[in-house]
Copies of this chain bind each other. A is one copy, B any other.
């Protein structure tokens, strides 16, 4: 029997992407979708791409929870805690694509998001769902904090070096460039075609909410409290994030050691493709897929590691990773439904 999945916030971009992938997942049936703004409307009215493939109607949140074994929530930040409690009570698996459960420190949550932990016990039950780094913690859990988009790519670029102590954890710089879907479905001046097309700029330099989440992951990996400088930029493309990460190489560490550390770290990971020397991670090569491509470059003149990752912000940075987490929790092969070939063009 198939797993029954419910999608809360199905008409947002992450929700729509969950639908796209789950529609061809062999072990899942979409039991219900929900949307506050479009309740009673068909998903294919909102996204004509889905005509004949998903003409389901958006139902209430409660109906979606009731009908499902696993609930994916793609809601604005702050709205997931109550829903998580509801699902927990009902014994359902809850996978949260929002930020409510991502930060372990309530203090940091308050600082960056301005909210509180409504139920600390619930937060104890939640686990941070970045499988390549924390797979063992995920198995058997019922509340998953699915990482944000920037917070998936940057840690995967740096993990082997940080975990193995090959680079200094001080002075790490993450310069990221994201496609526009990261800003969501709601039109705004900044995503109005004529003002974004042929443009490019940084935004929220050193003040983006994903900063503490990246730091949390790097701190766990290194065993030290890490602070980074994080500057995101907006790319005139639909999808994809490149994170160019800079870290000072520790004295005595060789190029070969770094290469080897990366190879060993990712040798069994299907979704992380470590590129050969000389190649460059490119969002063009991972679009629509759950892959994270990583390329590493050494600046020998300044002794700096340049680690670059490419992910699709909507897949490995959102919906795909959520499904990867679901696969783990339900004991499926982690790749099930996620072997999506990135188009060559």
* Beta-carbon contact of A187 and B192 below 8 Å: yes
* Those 5 A-B pairs whose CB atoms lie nearest each other, nearest first: A199-B284, A206-B299, A201-B282, A187-B187, A205-B297
Task: Add 15 more A-B contacts to A199-B285, A246-B246 (CB < 8 A).
Answer: A48-B275, A48-B285, A49-B286, A49-B343, A50-B342, A51-B285, A173-B175, A186-B192, A187-B187, A187-B188, A198-B287, A199-B237, A201-B242, A202-B281, A228-B302
Return A306 CB to nearest CB of chain B, in Å. Answer: 5
A198-B239, A304-B206 are contacts. A244–B248 as well, Cβ < 8 Å?
Answer: no
**Binary B-proximity of A68-99 (CB < 8 A = 1, otherwise 0):** 00000000000000000000000000000000
Q: Does A194 contact B (CB under 8 A)?
A: yes
Determine if B228 and A244 form an interchain contact, defined as CB atoms under 8 angstroms apart: no
Q: How far is the CA of A298 from the CA of B23 in the complex (A)?
A: 35
Q: Is the CB of A177 within 8 A of B180?
A: no
8 contacts between A and B (CB under 8 A): A49-B285, A187-B188, A191-B192, A195-B284, A197-B238, A201-B308, A202-B242, A233-B242
Selecting from A12-20, A59-67, A143-151, A326-334, the interface stretch reads A12-20
User: Which residue from chain B places its CB closest to the CB of A248 in the assembled complex?
Assistant: B171
Q: Pick the residue among B233, B281, B298 that contacts A201 (CB under 8 A).
A: B281
User: Does the CB pair B49–A173 fall under 8 Å?
Assistant: no
Please state if A206 and B306 are interface contacts (CB–CB under 8 Å).
yes
Give the most central of A24, A173, A189, A343: most B CB within 10 Å.
A343
Contact A201 B236, CB 8 Å, known A49-B286, A193-B191:
no
Would you give the shortest CB distance from A189 to chain B, in whole angstroms?
6
Contact with B along A238-265 (1 / 0, CB 8 A): 1110101010100000000000000000
How long is the Cα–Cα vector from A297 to B229 in the complex, in angstroms? Answer: 11
Q: How far is the CB of A185 from chain B (nearest CB, A)?
A: 7
Query: Are A302 and B49 in contact (CB-based, < 8 A)?
Result: no
Which residue in chain B gives the minimum CB-CB distance to A310? B201
Whether B205 and A308, one on each chain, are in contact in the complex, defined by CB atoms closer than 8 angstroms, is yes
CB-defined contacts of A342 to chain B, threshold 8 Å: 49-50
Q: Which residue of B lies closest to A203 (CB)?
A: B280
Distance, CA A189 to CA B37, complexed state (A): 14
Interface residues of A in 112-163 (CB under 8 A from B): none
Nearest CB in chain B: distance from A285 CB, A: 4
Decide yes or no: A193 and B242 within 8 Å by CB, A20-B343, A297-B206 being known contacts: no
Least CB distance from A168 to B in Å reads: 11
Residues 294-337 of A at the B interface (beta carbon under 8 Å) = 295, 297-302, 304, 306, 308, 310, 314
- Interface membership of A28, Cβ < 8 A: no
Min CB distance, A61 to chain B, in Å?
21
Q: How far is the CA of A299 from the CA of B275 in the complex (A)?
A: 32
